[in-house]
């Protein structure tokens, strides 16, 4: 494909996640972060996250829950049941709830409102692990946006407010070790132990950094953006963060905005 | 769009005052909801952290107190919530705050056991809370030096966020001024490096005994760091 990665206008065309990655690697030959794992780059066409797609698709279209309904009437922002390009345009403001919602928050909202699941049902309470409904659905839905450029809307004042608050949160020091997100993601090519870290101001490193769901080789599980936030917050020795909460949404608003214009790798494979 | 943010303590104080009683916004869409579009980004960030139940605020934490205290900023944290380096005025405030809170141990600074220090330098255990809590009753918290620093030249997995400390002691010796300086840096590095990312290990994190072991690992002529 002739479309280059660097500096192109927002793309609205599906691309295989491995093709997206290969173009990023070519565009950033000196990025230690992007090139750190030869093994993972080699494994990308056989990314174990792809194994979740069929289950995710089945879960999406199956009539499930107390209401015996599919998720086809769920609106992820581009209309009921429209999944193409929806994942990269989140978080966004939703009229029906009056608030800015990130992907997982919106998915859970639909599973509760449309299908009738409650917090007691493992379908929504289990958020992590390749075997969870949430991660299977997340992987399937996100995959429909692979290769699309991150493009979270900022037209609504609440979208702008959450994104701007997310930027402040990214730099907000706290916890037992005084860390903020920028402690690890403020400069390029730095390492924590053996891990090379992505720099938030390098949008081509950052698009890979925020491209979850991704199979984490070291954990042998597919993980979400929210799982990454929880892990970072835990390692930073902040207080434990909770799912479906606005701090998650604001941070993801900022993350996805910082990758704006760069194509998403969905799903990705990480160390 | 990406301007440097300098979140001062004054902004934090005014934000909390303006937002008192506005904690229902994200729980329901009642008339009592606050309009987040009328807040500055700094005010909204404080609101999100402290007033929206986004964290396990009531969870007990290892140093005593709760998650809420973890998320309420002290002066150094508030002054250093910025991108890049602090301006000279901010840096001066940070250094002054750091010096004011520093305490030299009774009886002066002494080196402990570098072997114990080696264990502490490699351990990233301790103080993590949330879905999974570090239990200090079964395992002591570490200093996690290798996450960011090279130390023993023979150790191959080390972080690079901080400078290399290989041969640190061989180059500096162990006289009183060196011991005092290194203790000041380990205990509260903002005295010399305002808004550094290095944690304040003397602030409810490591004991003085643990700090003495880490310092021995760094400075003792027999430590592998100095071979």
Residue A142: closest CA among A32, A20, A258: A20
The residue to which tokens 């990406």 are assigned: B2
Q: Residue B34's pLDDT is what?
A: 84
Percent of chain A with pLDDT over 90: 95
CA of A179 vs chain B CAs: smallest distance (Å): 7
How many C-beta atoms surround the C-beta of residue A110 within 10 A?
Answer: 17
Contacts of A201 in chain B (CB under 8 A): 2
The predicted model scores a pTM of 0.91
CA of B181 vs chain A CAs: smallest distance (Å): 20
Q: Residue B3's pLDDT is what?
A: 40
Q: Residue B15's pLDDT is what?
A: 44
Q: What is the DSSP letter of A216?
A: E
Contacts of A157 in chain B (CB under 8 A): 37
Contacts of B5 in chain A (CB under 8 A): 167-168, 171
Q: Which candidate in A161, A162, A168 is best for mutational testing of the B interface (most B CBs within 10 A)?
A: A168
Residue B179, both tokens = 């011991």
Q: Residue B214's pLDDT is what?
A: 98
Residue B201 has pLDDT above 80, yes or no: yes
Contact criterion met (CB < 8 Å) for A167 and B5: yes
Residue B17 has pLDDT above 80, yes or no: no
- Any B CB within 8 A of A116 CB: no
The CA distances from residue A31 to A181, A267, B188, B210, in Å, are 20, 20, 33, 38
Q: What is the dihedral of CA A68, A74, A79, A84, to 10 degrees?
A: -100
Please state the ipTM of this predicted complex. Answer: 0.94
Q: What is the pLDDT of residues B84-115, one digit of tens each?
A: 999 999 999 999 999 999 999 999 999 999 99
pLDDT in tens, chain A (271 residues): 334 444 444 567 999 999 999 999 999 999 999 999 999 999 999 999 999 999 999 999 999 999 999 999 999 999 999 999 999 999 999 999 999 999 999 999 999 999 999 999 999 999 999 999 999 999 999 999 999 999 999 999 999 999 999 999 999 999 999 999 999 999 999 999 999 999 999 999 999 999 999 999 999 999 999 999 999 999 999 999 999 999 999 999 999 999 999 999 999 999 9
Q: What is the DSSP letter of B66?
A: B
- Strand-pair partners of A192: A195
- A232 is annotated as an active-site residue: yes
Residue B13, both tokens = 């104080």
The residue to which tokens 């901080």 are assigned: B162
Complete DSSP assignment for B134-184? --TTTS-----GGGT---STT------SSPP-TTHHHHH---HHHHHHHHH
Complete DSSP assignment for A220-260? TEEE-HHHHHHHHHHHTT-PPB-TT-HHHHHHHHHHHHHTT
The residue of chain B with its CA nearest to that of A235 is B128
- With vertex at residue B59, the alpha carbon angle to CA B53 and CA B63, rounded to the nearest 5 degrees, is 130
Q: What CA–CA distance (Å, rounded) separates A230 from A253? A: 16
Contact criterion met (CB < 8 Å) for B42 and A158: no
């Amino acid at each position: 494909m002739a479309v280059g990665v660097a500096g192109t206008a927002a793309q609205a065309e599906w691309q295989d996640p491995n093709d997206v990655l290969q173009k990023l690697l070519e565009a950033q030959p000196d990025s230690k972060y992007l090139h750190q794992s030869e093994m993972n780059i080699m494994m990308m066409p056989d990314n174990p996250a792809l194994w979740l797609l069929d289950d995710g698709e089945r879960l999406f279209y199956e009539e499930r829950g107390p209401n015996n309904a599919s998720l086809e009437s769920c609106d992820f922002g581009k209309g009921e049941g429209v999944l193409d390009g929806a994942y990269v345009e989140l978080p966004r403001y939703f009229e029906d709830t009056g608030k800015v919602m990130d992907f997982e928050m919106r998915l859970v909202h639909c599973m509760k409102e449309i299908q009738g699941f409650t917090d007691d049902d493992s379908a929504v309470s289990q958020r992590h692990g390749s075997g969870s409904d949430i991660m299977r659905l997340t992987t399937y839905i996100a995959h429909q946006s692979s290769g699309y450029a991150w493009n979270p809307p900022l037209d609504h004042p609440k979208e702008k407010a959450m994104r701007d608050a997310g930027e402040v949160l990214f730099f907000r020091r706290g916890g037992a070790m005084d860390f903020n997100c920028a402690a690890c993601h403020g400069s390029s090519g730095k390492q924590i132990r053996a891990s090379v870290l992505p720099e938030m101001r390098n949008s081509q490193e950052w698009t890979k950094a925020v491209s979850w769901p991704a199979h984490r080789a070291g954990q042998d599980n597919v993980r979400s953006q929210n799982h990454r936030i929880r892990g970072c917050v835990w390692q930073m020795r902040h207080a434990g963060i909770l799912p479906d909460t606005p701090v998650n949404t604001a941070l993801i608003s900022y993350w996805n905005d910082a990758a704006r214009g760069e194509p998403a790798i969905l799903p990705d494979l990480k160390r | 769009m990406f301007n440097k943010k300098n979140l001062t303590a004054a902004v934090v104080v005014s934000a909390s005052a303006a937002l008192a009683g506005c904690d229902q916004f994200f729980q329901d869409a009642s008339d009592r909801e606050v309009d987040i579009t009328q807040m500055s980004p700094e005010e909204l960030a404080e609101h999100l952290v402290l007033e929206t139940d986004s964290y396990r605020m009531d969870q007990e934490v290892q140093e005593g107190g709760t998650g809420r205290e973890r998320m309420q900023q002290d002066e150094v944290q508030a002054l250093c919530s910025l991108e890049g380096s602090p301006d000279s005025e901010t840096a001066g405030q940070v250094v002054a705050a750091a010096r004011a809170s520093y305490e030299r141990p009774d009886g002066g600074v002494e080196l402990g056991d570098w072997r114990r220090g080696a264990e502490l330098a490699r351990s990233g255990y301790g103080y993590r809370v949330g879905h999974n809590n570090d239990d200090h009753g079964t395992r002591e918290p570490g200093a996690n030096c290798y996450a960011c620093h090279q130390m023993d030249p023979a150790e191959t997995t080390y972080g690079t966020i901080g400078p290399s400390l290989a041969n640190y002691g061989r180059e500096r010796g162990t006289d009183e001024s060196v011991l005092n300086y290194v203790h000041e840096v380990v205990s509260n590095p903002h005295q010399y490096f305002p808004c550094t990312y290095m944690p304040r290990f003397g602030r409810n994190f490591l004991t003085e005994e643990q700090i003495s072991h880490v310092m021995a690992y760094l400075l003792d002529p027999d430590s592998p760091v100095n071979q």
